Amino acid sequence: MRFNRGEEEDFNLNVTSLVDIVLMLLIFFMVSSAYVDFTKRMDVQLPAAGAGGAMTPGKPYSIEIDGDGRIFMDGAQVQLGDIKGRIKQAARKSVVIRADKKLYYGLAVQVMGICSESGVNDIGLAVL
């Protein structure tokens, strides 16, 4: 027994609009990812703020100290003695220190002292 199905139609999938939408999404995500806050490079748990003021405008030099006492300047790991030379080379005269709340803050105070000796006018300690 043979059934007559009639004329079979060719099915063509028009992918032009699909490609257009995918490219628009790709462009959207590329542009929106450019606005990610680059100050959150490390997983540092900041302490809560009790009082304080805002820093002066401009991009400050970023110094991060993790819970193990490792020091990072703008994402690169440095030793305590290298901080002074790197800050003197930089034109920026403001520093934000992000130290883990589990850290013994004597190291953060040492970093603040080195920054002050290097001629930094504005030293900030990042908190939540």
**Residue pLDDT, tens place only, 59-100:** 788 889 888 889 998 888 999 888 888 888 876 778 888 888
Instruction: Tell which wins on pLDDT, 46 or 103.
Output: 103
- The yes-or-no verdict on residue 55 having pLDDT over 70 is no
Domains of the chain, earliest start first: 61-125 (3.30.420.270)
- Backbone angles phi and psi of 108, in degrees to 5: -65, -35
- DSSP strand E in 1-128: where? 61-65, 71-73, 76-78, 94-99, 122-125
